[in-house]
Chain A
Amino acid sequence: MLSGLAIPRSLQTLPRDSRDTLFLLAVVAWVIAPLALELKPWTGAMAALMLAWRGVLAWRSAPLPSRRTRVLMLLLTVGAVFASYRTLAGYEAGISLAILLLALKTLELRARRDAMAVFFLGFFVLLMNFLYSQSLPLAVAAVIGLLGLLTALVQAHMPVGRPPVALAARTALRLMVFGAPVMAALFLFFPRIAPLWGVPGDPARARTGLSEEMRVGNIASLAQDSSPVMRIRFSDLPASVAPPQRDLYFRGPVLSRFDGRDWTPASEQINGRYQPRWMAPARLTVRGPSVRYEATLEPSGRHWLLVMDAAPARPEGAEGFLSADLEWIASRPLTNLLRYRAESYPDFSLSTTLAPAALTEFTRLPDGFDPRTRDLASALLAQPSVAAGGTAALIDAALARLRNGGYRYTLEPGVYGRDTADEFWFGRKAGFCEHIASAFVVLMRAAGAPARVVTGYQGGSPNSVDGVWTVRQSDAHAWTEVWLAGRGWVRVDPTASVAPDRLEMFRAQAPDGAFGQAFGAVVGAGWLPGLRAAWEAVNDRWNQWVLNYTQDRQLDLLKRLGFDDPDWRSMGRILGGLALAALLAGLAWNALRRRQRDPWLRLYADARRHLEKRGLSSTDAVAPRTLARFVMARYGGAGRPISDWLLRLEAQRYAPRQTTASRASLAGLRRQLRGLAWPDTPRSALQRTRTN
């Protein structure tokens, strides 16, 4: 065993089988790697162990493990997956099992059939990668993986000699390049249909983001997450003109119930479906200029259609409805990238038809919490300016206190205790937007002013390359709305008082996913912001054109192609048409290629075909002169015209100078060929004499 390790061998001198196996193992490792990063660590470790084992065996050209060992490994693998997930059929369990089986299968790479099994399993694992992320870097990794698998497959079908890997890779690349048009046509026109059956729940795809409830500390956890939430293209604005930051409020869940610790919406989920509690319809009045934009929303697994405040009309391309709290709620959880066009009016007022008594819900506070904040409310109300100015003055007084009271904006305010508002106003005096908003609303309610917390995203940053704005998880924000008699709900952002430059303070820089993070580590290091912007622009195009190519966009495309009422049959017709066109193009090309052959050779070939039909076969290596002699020998005098013609043909070819005149004579020869009388074959002549 030691001797095997002691002898160093280079890849060049490795036997071909070992080299091919090592290459295949590298490809398998490449295909598995992104998934191994997502799954439980032991899965990746076990797969790596098996691949390494196989690698060592290949390196030493050692025999493969026995059947018993393999069966044992299989049982161990299945057992480990079951022990870890308590099921084999689940989502992650299935993926783990597939990865491990692929690694295990390499340990019995004997016949070509085993190799095929590895390739086919490899294709499945490639697809499984997309369940976790469909980002551009992962797509590139998958293309490389597919190229690797095809290369290994081609290599397995080159049994002769020791062809270099690059040769197989070139063939594989050619297959993919030729396959690309087929892919494009099918991708564009293969009818998109709804899932055929329900798929098991997908914990792996549960995203971070805003949730329906706000526990103080939630949003702080998002602050470091710079994965994009949505991308926005302002269609009317030139890229250079930035929309004012104060308008960029994207409304998520509106929270009006408070139990002392958690804020929850005045609505509930029934059977997993978001059901806003019945409320009187919103009375939304919009004024002034509108902002039109196109938004691409990352899948969140939740119901919030993020739009800028306030969008009175349903975003085009999305399904959902407007709640009384001005939230746009999608009719289904957003599990896929969604693109929609919306129009928002930054200047709006929101009131309701509710009786003033109903507003008491928004002044309700849990008993026994935050006594000092209640005292503070009484103290504020006692101020003469507040007593005179009503709620508006109360707001001003509270904001003034935030500005001047030594309050600090921080991501790490420490752990809050029971009375969160008390602790903020009097204890730590430091917090993140959610602490500030929560404490502010408690104060408002304690003072008898209806108020609520609104969560969502605020801000975003434009891409310098294509002008598309990106809103990230780190832009998650909580602000408040206070009811002013006669004006309705008015947005108050207390955080802005504490930290007017909040937007510039936290901007972690890394796109989504493990690959993206690796990429971001290289690109987003800060010294190449231009490259990063370009990257985001490319990523946006990717989202728009690949990931968000849905049934709607497919039908749009068909409409643009001139189908009035497109359905799956029109797509079938297009695909059929394309296939037919490809076929005709192939035939035409073939014909063209035949035409491009030397006209002299073609004419000679025609003549030889005539003779071949009569039993005198020859190849084009036979000179016309020789063929003429054969003809004379066979047919005697009857063959004279043919023989002469053949001699003329030869003279034409080897005439001293190739001139236009000689080409004309080639046409003449062709005419003469048609006029030639072909003698019967001797055998049929013989038969005729016999019957006579």
Chain B
Amino acid sequence: MFSRTPRQDSQLLTQRNVYILPTRAGGVLAVVLTVLLVASINFQLNLGYLLTFLLAGAAVAAMHVGHATLRGLTLHLVPPAPAFAGAPAPLEVEIADEAGKRLRHAIAVGVRGSTEPAWTDVGAGGRATVHIAWTPPGRGLHALPPIEAETRFPIGAFRAWTVWRPASELLVYPQPEAGAPPLPPGAPREGSARHAHLAATGGAESEGVRTYRRGDPLRQVVWKKSARAIAAGTGELTSRDTAQPAESDLWLDLHQTGATALEDRLSRMCAWVLMAEQWSQPYGLRLPGVEIAPGNGAAHRHRCLEALARC
């Protein structure tokens, strides 16, 4: 039914795309009205008729009020920032009352079928921003799910709703591997004088000591110092601190991750990209059919992660 509606990032809600149906509470209200009517007939209560009909009239008015709460609103999707797989990627939706006629209450916006929508009111002529909980299904470029805005205002007897398919797509990076192994050794750049030395020390130059970090190669541990620490009971290991030399190029290759499954490998690559970015270590990416020259910075990081996402 909704596949007919065109995908767009801004949607004006009109008579054509706002639907309304009674809720279960509305059904109970209908039963209550029937019983009130029968009571009025049986006891011949003219005031009972008036009460029943006034309540029925109010319910009819509530239907219109509920529909008007959504009608005339504009839903606008704030283009989503790329996210990592497995993590929630809240969608930001702006709801604006362009007509500026009335305060609109109790609008619930959520991914279609979700049980925890975000609630908001929209002031007359104002706008409100809601963050919709959504966890993308996995890595890759995803179409956004249909978004549903609904309201049961004012008396809960009717549910007015609209379904909107945003046109934007969301890029989902692979999930970074938790506790990924340290970065692979960088390949020495051609013509570097310290090439041989670096190869001997494991691709890094020793510049001091620091506390052991998980993933440090064993040969970097300062065993003498560590032994003393273990004897003293603190159990803290000490590593040689290494700074990645600017002269070395770090190539992250999908075929040299040490994992087998594609997703695991991409996960590890992703973690490495983040790690290298954190230490400002220039890195390049080698994927089947894609090679990204070593570099650094937010744009480069995005380029690499996008390549991983689309791989």
Contact surface of A with B, Cβ cutoff 8 Å: 112-113, 116, 120, 123-124, 126-127, 130-131, 134, 138-139, 142-143, 146, 150, 153-154, 156-161, 163, 167, 171-172, 174-176, 178-183, 186-187, 190, 193, 195-197, 199, 335-336, 546-549, 590, 617, 619
Tell me the smallest distance from the CB of A425 to a CB of chain B, in Å. 48
- Residue on A nearest B45 in the bound complex, by CB: A130
Tell me the smallest distance from the CB of A181 to a CB of chain B, in Å. 7
Tell me the smallest distance from the CB of A414 to a CB of chain B, in Å. 42
Tell me the smallest distance from the CB of A611 to a CB of chain B, in Å. 14
Contact of B65 among A146, A175, A335 (CB under 8 A): A175
Docked complex Cα distance between A592 and B40 (Å): 40
Docked complex Cα distance between A130 and B60 (Å): 24
- Is B28 interfacial (CB 8 A cutoff)? yes
Q: Is the CB of A183 within 8 A of B47?
A: no
Q: Which residues of B contact A199 (CB under 8 A)?
A: 42-43
Docked complex Cα distance between A199 and B53 (Å): 22
Chain B residues numbered 254-290 whose CB sits less than 8 Å from any CB in chain A: none
Docked complex Cα distance between A76 and B89 (Å): 53
Tell me the smallest distance from the CB of B106 to a CB of chain A, in Å. 6
Q: Is the CB of B41 within 8 A of A183?
A: no
Known: A130-B45, A171-B65, A187-B49. 5 other contacts (CB 8 A): A127-B45, A150-B155, A175-B61, A175-B154, A178-B58
Q: Which residues of A contact B43 (CB under 8 A)?
A: 130-131, 195, 199
Tell me the smallest distance from the CB of B71 to a CB of chain A, in Å. 10
Q: Which residues of A contact B106 (CB under 8 A)?
A: 157-160
- Residue on B nearest A198 in the bound complex, by CB: B42
10 shortest interchain CB distances as A-B pairs:
A179-B57, A182-B57, A178-B61, A179-B58, A186-B53, A183-B53, A175-B58, A183-B54, A130-B47, A134-B47
Q: Which residues of A contact B119 (CB under 8 A)?
A: 159-160
Docked complex Cα distance between A156 and B153 (Å): 9
Q: Which residues of A contact B62 (CB under 8 A)?
A: 175
Contacts A159-B119, A183-B54, A195-B42; is A120 near B32 (CB within 8 Å)? yes
Residues 7-37 of B, flagged 1 when their CB comes within 8 A of A and 0 if not, give 0101000010000000001001100100110
Contact of B39 among A127, A178, A335, A549 (CB under 8 A): A127
- Residue on A nearest B57 in the bound complex, by CB: A179
Docked complex Cα distance between A195 and B37 (Å): 11
Q: Is the CB of B25 within 8 A of A116?
A: yes
Residues 154-190 of B, flagged 1 when their CB comes within 8 A of A and 0 if not, give 1110000000000000000000000000000000000
- Is B48 interfacial (CB 8 A cutoff)? yes
Contacts A157-B152, A182-B60; is A619 near B10 (CB within 8 Å)? yes
Q: Is the CB of B44 within 8 A of A336?
A: yes
Tell me the smallest distance from the CB of A236 to a CB of chain B, in Å. 29
- Residue on A nearest B121 in the bound complex, by CB: A160
Q: Which residues of A contact B46 (CB under 8 A)?
A: 134, 187, 546-549
Q: Which residues of A contact B121 (CB under 8 A)?
A: 158, 160-161, 163
Q: Which residues of B contact A157 (CB under 8 A)?
A: 105-106, 152-156
- Residue on A nearest B37 in the bound complex, by CB: A190
Chain B residues numbered 60-84 whose CB sits less than 8 Å from any CB in chain A: 60-62, 64-65
B interface residues, tally (CB under 8 Å): 47
- Is B38 interfacial (CB 8 A cutoff)? yes
- Is B55 interfacial (CB 8 A cutoff)? yes
Q: Is the CB of A186 within 8 A of B105?
A: no
Q: Is the CB of A124 within 8 A of B32?
A: yes
Tell me the smallest distance from the CB of B189 to a CB of chain A, in Å. 45
- Is B56 interfacial (CB 8 A cutoff)? yes
Q: Which residues of A contact B54 (CB under 8 A)?
A: 143, 146, 176, 179-180, 183
- Is B50 interfacial (CB 8 A cutoff)? yes
Q: Is the CB of B156 within 8 A of A112?
A: yes
- Residue on A nearest B120 in the bound complex, by CB: A160
- Is B293 interfacial (CB 8 A cutoff)? no
- Residue on B nearest A161 in the bound complex, by CB: B121
Q: Is the CB of A124 within 8 A of B35?
A: yes
Tell me the smallest distance from the CB of A585 to a CB of chain B, in Å. 13
Q: Which residues of A contact B40 (CB under 8 A)?
A: 127
Docked complex Cα distance between A154 and B53 (Å): 19
Q: Which of A112, A143, A183, A199 has the most CB of B within 10 A?
A: A183
- Is B51 interfacial (CB 8 A cutoff)? yes
Q: Is the CB of B49 within 8 A of A190?
A: yes
Tell me the smallest distance from the CB of A39 to a CB of chain B, in Å. 17
Q: Is the CB of A126 within 8 A of B51?
A: yes
Contacts A193-B41, A196-B38; is A546 near B50 (CB within 8 Å)? yes
Contacts A154-B155, A157-B156, A174-B61; is A179 near B45 (CB within 8 Å)? no
Tell me the smallest distance from the CB of B93 to a CB of chain A, in Å. 15
Q: Is the CB of A196 within 8 A of B42?
A: yes
Q: Is the CB of A142 within 8 A of B120?
A: no
Chain B residues numbered 105-145 whose CB sits less than 8 Å from any CB in chain A: 105-106, 119-121
Contact of B28 among A120, A182, A548 (CB under 8 A): A120
Q: Is the CB of B45 within 8 A of A134?
A: yes
17 A-B pairs within 8 Å (CB atoms) are namely: A116-B25, A127-B40, A130-B43, A130-B48, A146-B54, A154-B155, A157-B106, A157-B155, A158-B121, A167-B103, A171-B105, A175-B61, A175-B154, A179-B57, A193-B41, A199-B43, A548-B46
Q: Which residues of B contact A335 (CB under 8 A)?
A: 44
Q: Is the CB of B156 within 8 A of A156?
A: yes
Docked complex Cα distance between A163 and B39 (Å): 36
Docked complex Cα distance between A196 and B35 (Å): 12
Q: Which residues of A contact B153 (CB under 8 A)?
A: 154, 157-158
Contact of B42 among A150, A153, A180, A197 (CB under 8 A): A197
- Residue on A nearest B62 in the bound complex, by CB: A175
Q: Which residues of A contact B39 (CB under 8 A)?
A: 127
Contact of B51 among A116, A130, A180 (CB under 8 A): A130
Q: Which residues of B contact A175 (CB under 8 A)?
A: 58, 61-62, 65, 154-155
Docked complex Cα distance between A139 and B39 (Å): 17
Q: Which residues of B contact A161 (CB under 8 A)?
A: 121
Q: Which residues of B contact A159 (CB under 8 A)?
A: 106, 119
Docked complex Cα distance between A549 and B47 (Å): 10
Tell me the smallest distance from the CB of B202 to a CB of chain A, in Å. 56
Q: Is the CB of B41 within 8 A of A123?
A: no
Q: Is the CB of A124 within 8 A of B45?
A: no
Q: Which of A127, A156, A174 has the most CB of B within 10 A?
A: A127
Docked complex Cα distance between A143 and B53 (Å): 12
Q: Which residues of A contact B47 (CB under 8 A)?
A: 130, 134, 138-139, 142, 546-547
Docked complex Cα distance between A157 and B44 (Å): 34
Docked complex Cα distance between A546 and B49 (Å): 10
Docked complex Cα distance between A126 and B55 (Å): 11
Docked complex Cα distance between A209 and B286 (Å): 104
Contacts A153-B155, A176-B58; is A146 near B105 (CB within 8 Å)? no
Docked complex Cα distance between A590 and B72 (Å): 13
- Residue on B nearest A205 in the bound complex, by CB: B43
- Residue on B nearest A121 in the bound complex, by CB: B32
Q: Is the CB of B57 within 8 A of A178?
A: yes
Q: Which residues of A contact B152 (CB under 8 A)?
A: 157
Q: Which residues of A contact B103 (CB under 8 A)?
A: 167
Docked complex Cα distance between A477 and B36 (Å): 40
Docked complex Cα distance between A154 and B10 (Å): 30
Q: Which residues of A contact B61 (CB under 8 A)?
A: 174-176, 178-179, 182
Q: Is the CB of B105 within 8 A of A178?
A: no
Docked complex Cα distance between A146 and B15 (Å): 31
Docked complex Cα distance between A179 and B55 (Å): 7
Q: Which of B38, B105, B119 has the most CB of A within 10 A?
A: B105
- Residue on A nearest B61 in the bound complex, by CB: A178
Q: Which residues of B contact A176 (CB under 8 A)?
A: 54, 57-58, 61
Tell me the smallest distance from the CB of A131 to a CB of chain B, in Å. 6
Q: Is the CB of A127 within 8 A of B48?
A: yes
Q: Which residues of B contact A127 (CB under 8 A)?
A: 36, 39-40, 45, 48, 51-52
Q: Is the CB of B56 within 8 A of A179?
A: yes
Docked complex Cα distance between A183 and B50 (Å): 6
Docked complex Cα distance between A306 and B106 (Å): 58
Q: Is the CB of A146 within 8 A of B53?
A: no
Q: Is the CB of B45 within 8 A of A131?
A: yes
